[in-house]
Amino acid sequence: MNKTVFLNRTTPPHIATLVVIAGLSALNMNLILPSLPGISTYYQADYALVQLAVSGYLAVTGLLQLVIGPLSDRYGRRPVMIVSLSIFLLATALTPFAPSIEVFLAIRMLQAAVVSGMVLSRAVVRDIVSADQAASMIGYVTMGMTLAPMIGPVLGGLMEELFGWQSVFALLFACGLAAFILLLTDLGETNQNRSPSMLVQFRAYPELLRSRRFWGYSLTATFASGSFFSFLGGGPFVATRILDMEPSELGLYFVFIALGYMAGNFLSGRFASRIGINRMMVTGCIIATLGMIMTLALFLAGLWHPMSFFGPIFFLGLGNGVTLPSANAGIVSVRPHLAGSASGLGGAMMIGGGAALSAFAGSIMSPETGPYPLIIVMLASCVVSIFATLYVIRVENSLTADARINGA
């Protein structure tokens, strides 16, 4: 693999380019969150329907990942990203002019094409470095892209109050155009072992699904991130309808989870290659679980305050930041020759599970129930992620023992 030269499309991309491209996908998810109640009012639609802009979007991104991975293994990372970002830019330009909530949601689903940046940034990393190095590099990439969900809700909330929700999509278009130009000028092709056909790649899915390690890593990623996606689905409702927060105030409080995620990604980048991805995962899952236990305890104690909800969410972000880079590195390392397909399939499972949890969390929320249904869903997801990680460790220990016996 050639040495990276910034703004040279014949060499592998600079890490900053991967951060920007992956960050655009995160920004598209988070920027509109404070605007959901406003969009509900604008279209006179139920919040549960408008919330499909999150859960439905997640479901579409999950399905797209099933195709994006194999496409990139067949045709290369660069052309797939170029086409995907072109679709995203077109959809983003059209969204503010949607005449009804149904049209708005349909165009919003087209925006999901931007997920290629997040999926293929992981595959690009695995193209150029080893598994443990991939966990560290993915950690650094994710730490950088965390700036998007950190400032996204803040900017989105301010623009919603000052200019209306349509201005949020104008900002998204400007950011997308900048990322597209960077992609064209810096992203060199890293897939040097392309598949002979798409059918070969789709036939790879059974091979991946037969791998117990792939299932373990994917389930860890699914339930660790599932608590976060549940938060995206129900958090704005809790903040605005139960805790009476303004959109801009909600955006500011979102900084807590983003700061935790960034800190977790830094720790992952610093220690994953030394500690190993399995120990990083179990540590992160436990941290996230403790954070959600703290949230539940504060509300049960009668402390109904934004900090009771958003303060401990820092530890959820921290735990996810420690867990997910290692889980994603594990997913793409089970079968290195199928890195793109593995990233797509694992991502589809993760996002699909997140979409289901997000929709479920949004559907069971009401002012009468308070925040408890959301907190319980998030806590349960964290607990399951611990068991999924322990399953991975058990499988690896059994494989190691078998290898020793066969070697003897």
Q: In which residue are the tokens 């293929």 written?
A: 120
**What mean pLDDT comes out for the span 263-271?**
83
pLDDT band at 50 (very low <50, low <70, confident <90, very high): confident
Cα–Cα distance measured from residue 371 to residue 243, given in angstroms and rounded to the nearest whole number: 9
pTM: 0.71
Cα–Cα distance measured from residue 94 to residue 30, given in angstroms and rounded to the nearest whole number: 19
**What mean pLDDT comes out for the span 62-91?**
86
Give pLDDT, residue 348: 77
- In angstroms, the Cα distances linking 279 to 274, 322, 390 are 10, 10, 10
Alpha helix (H) residue ranges in 276-338: 277-300, 306-310, 313-333
Query: How many angstroms separate the first and last alpha carbons of the chain?
Result: 37
Tally DSSP H helices, then E strands, for the chain: 19, 0
**pLDDT tens for each residue of 121-175:** 877 877 776 655 666 676 667 666 666 766 777 788 888 888 888 898 999 999 9
CATH of 15-188+197-398, one of 1.20.1250.20, 3.30.2310.20, 1.10.3720.10, 1.10.287.610: 1.20.1250.20
Cα–Cα distance measured from residue 375 to residue 341, given in angstroms and rounded to the nearest whole number: 34
**What mean pLDDT comes out for the span 88-108?**
92
Q: What angle, rounded to 10 degrees, do the helices at 313-333 and 255-275 form? A: 40
| C-alpha torsion sign, points 214, 217, 218, 220 | positive
Q: In which residue are the tokens 């699909």 written?
A: 352
**Residues across the chain:** 408
Give pLDDT, residue 3: 66
104 three-class SS: helix
**What mean pLDDT comes out for the span 267-281?**
84
Give pLDDT, residue 111: 93
Q: State CA 244 to chain mean position distance.
A: 28
Cα–Cα distance measured from residue 68 to residue 80, given in angstroms and rounded to the nearest whole number: 7
**pLDDT tens for each residue of 305-350:** 888 888 899 999 999 989 988 898 888 777 766 766 777 788 778 8
246 three-class SS: coil
Summary mean pLDDT of the chain: 82
SS3 content of the chain, % helix, strand, coil (to 5): 85, 0, 15
The residue among 1, 174, 178, 194 whose CA lies nearest residue 79 is: 194
214 three-class SS: helix
**pLDDT tens for each residue of 350-399:** 877 877 887 777 777 777 778 888 899 999 999 999 999 999 999 888 87
Give pLDDT, residue 130: 64
